[in-house]
Amino acid sequence: MESKRQQKFAGVIQEDLAAIFQREGMNFLPNTLVTITKVRVTPDLALARVFLSFFNNANTQLALQTIKLHASEIRYKLGSRIKDQVRIIPQLEFFVDDTSDYVERMDKIFDKIHKEENPADSGQS
């Protein structure tokens, strides 16, 4: 369970990273929309785990590697935005948020189950 402090700090980071990616994301990944889906911060506020979603990009692992290569530059830009609000600029770890892929897979499974049940239901009537 995250404390209120962690949640508030994660919100600040998410907001500022979103602005950075919106303005300068094309420099890292042309023609790709990067969305920060969630940010989790350690209790000491020294590490932020940033979950990203990529739109209009076929290879999410390559996009993630590109972001990781630019992590220090992104952290510097984040630091210049939040330096007056925090004592320490957290290290950033980037991960792919595959929640939408998971939901899509589950929907397909449920559709398949539903289609398999329907013929049996109509045969019993």
Confidence (pLDDT) at 122? 52
Domain chopping of the chain, boundaries: 4-97
Confidence (pLDDT) at 74? 95
Q: What is the pLDDT of residues 52-86, one digit of tens each?
A: 988 888 888 899 999 999 999 999 999 999 999 88
Task: Give the contacts of 92 (CB within 8 A, at least 6 positions apart).
Answer: 48, 50, 71, 74, 75, 78
Region 4-97: CATH code: 3.30.300.20
